[in-house]
Structure 1
Amino acid sequence: MSKTAVITARVDEATLQSLDALAESQERSRAWLVAKAIQRYVKEETEFHSFIKEGEDAIDRGDYLTHEEMIADIKSWKLGRKRVA
């Protein structure tokens, strides 16, 4: 059996009413919906922070284009040319 933990959070009345309506329409409990929302949030934030870290690592390696290089690339694409590295 997997371990779980109880988390307490305060939400405004409108959010609580919306949550309860959603739970009822999906035939799920409030707790189930909150757990799924937290799982989704944690997954998306983890992926986003990994994406940012990947970009920061690329910058540290010098693997990036300057603004001027990017503008030159875009202009060359419009002319049907490829950038010469």
Structure 2
Amino acid sequence: MVAETRTLTAQVPVELAQEVDALSERLERPRQWIIKKALVQFLTREAEKRRLIQEGLDDVTEGRLISMDEARAWADSLGADNELPVPKA
């Protein structure tokens, strides 16, 4: 089954368009393929960012917190012989 498509138009700096053209030639793929891949990756990354932010906000709401001192002590111990375990809420 072929997915329904829709054309989007965007103004981009000439240098960016030239980079897309050059990559298109190197990969022997159409510009449309490169732009679609980039857009899918961007949207996936942004969705994951929103999910992680919401997860953090939920932790705060539920009181799952550690102090800044605990976090700093743990971070300072990274790479040391007596590395501390990850703090637990």
TM-score (norm 2): 0.78
Which residue does the alignment assign to 1:29?
Answer: 30
Q: Where does residue 19 of structure 1 map in the other structure?
A: 20
Cα offset, 1:69, TM superposition: 3.4
**Alpha-carbon distance in 1 for matches of 2:53, 2:39:** 21
What is the one-letter code of the residue matched to 2:26?
S
Identity of aligned residues (%): 31
**Correspondence for 2:52:** 51
In the TM superposition, what whole-angstrom CA distance separates every residue of 1:18-61 from its partner, at most 9, and x where no partner exists? 11000010011111100110000000110111011101100110
Work out whether residues 24 and 31 of structure 2, in 8 Å CA contact, stay in contact via their aligned partners in 1.
yes
* Larger relative contact order (CA 8 Å, sep ≥ 6): 2
Cα 1:76–1:36 change in 2 (3 A) is: closer
Identify, as 1 or 2, the structure richer in helix.
1
For structure 1, the 5+ residue unaligned runs are none
Question: Structure 2: 5+ residue runs without aligned partners?
Answer: none
Structure-2 separation of matches of 1:21 and 1:81: 48
TM-score (normalised: structure 1) = 0.81
- Please report the RMSD computed on the Cα atoms of aligned residues, expressed in angstroms: 2.7
**Alpha-carbon spacing, 1:84–1:61, altered in 2? closer, same or farther (3 Å):** closer
